[in-house]
Structure 1
Amino acid sequence: MIIFFDHSPFINDESIHAWISSLLLTANDLLNKESDMHSEYAGMGTTIVICYMDGKNTYISHVGDSRAYLYSDTLKQITTDDTFVNELLKRGIINQEEASHHPKRNVLVQAIGIKEALRVSFYKIEEDYRAILLCSDGLYNSLSSQQIEDILKEDESVNHKTERLIQSANEFGGLDNIGVLLIEKGES
């Protein structure tokens, strides 16, 4: 979903963070109520990544393993996956090579729909970029960073690049849902 405001209703970074957190906490509560009311939804959850741009600044929030990347000449991951394996990496229990093949690499420790308290990430982007890529794990688990960069470097429209990312991810695995939103920065 994309929401446009004629004028930013927020007065500072904290109000943006509070608004995004409120949205995600409300979604979490609604999903929990549904799973409490319908046993077939027990354990149901989802991941999310959000980008808010006010003309001057860019803000990213996420829960789970959907990601946000900045693209200039290279791809830079902004979000940190809320996964069991990433927790092991942070603690130095395993290394990056072990993480890439770990049997529990897709086990989430944070998701919309969990019963525990949500920790909503919040990033203010203060560096220049050409594009922002928001995506689900279906994209980055099917394509390498280099493959994604090669598509983003193409001299094509945003729609064409988005279609190519999804098509390529399907060709190279496509074992999970592939959600992609590419936002290119306009010329000033």
Structure 2
Amino acid sequence: MSQQTAVRLKSDYAELVQLENRYGADRRFTSTERSDLADRYGALTQVLSVGAYEDGQTAQTAEIADGRAEFERRVDAGVSARRLSRTQGTRLKSDYAALIRVEDGYLRDGVISASERSDLDARLDALDVRVGDTSYGGVTQTPRARLDAIGRALPSSGLSSAAQAQLRVEYEDVSHLEAAYAQLNASPQDQAYLEQRLTDLETRTRIRR
């Protein structure tokens, strides 16, 4: 049994004890209450027997935390190859540490739901893009091409009208920024800032590169 499953099992058992106390507050149990308690206890016993929950949730492991050393190795390689500045490398490591904290928060109850895992994957993809050593579909897109893809994806993103309106304002801002940088010899810091803004838009528009 994983540590996360054990944490969840203890939490569920504590909730069962509380439920039993509520049912027995009047010093008696109805047949429905006894049946409910027995069913819940049986379900926990089954988890204890097989060592896992069977509710469609993803494997309860700290996958982001486990990958930290490899991620930092990739960042260091990028800095050594001068593909990343030292400032970019430091920021990437800091953002990865922040993502680990998000994962820790999701694991507080011993489980990671499908929506939480999807959020973690999207954030990790965005960091991978910023490292710049991962090929997505074997094609390197220009900032302008990425902006065009964001513009096409926004209407069918499933976001609310208010969210789309906010993203449209940010999209126009980044478009102006891209156009200005295209006319100049943008510094590595400027390029990193543009990359960060593009990746943020892609993540929030639900584009998977």
Given the two structures, how large is their TM-score scaled by the length of structure 2?
Answer: 0.26
> Which structure has greater strand proportion?
1
Given the two structures, how large is their TM-score scaled by the length of structure 1?
Answer: 0.28
Select the structure of larger CA radius of gyration: 2
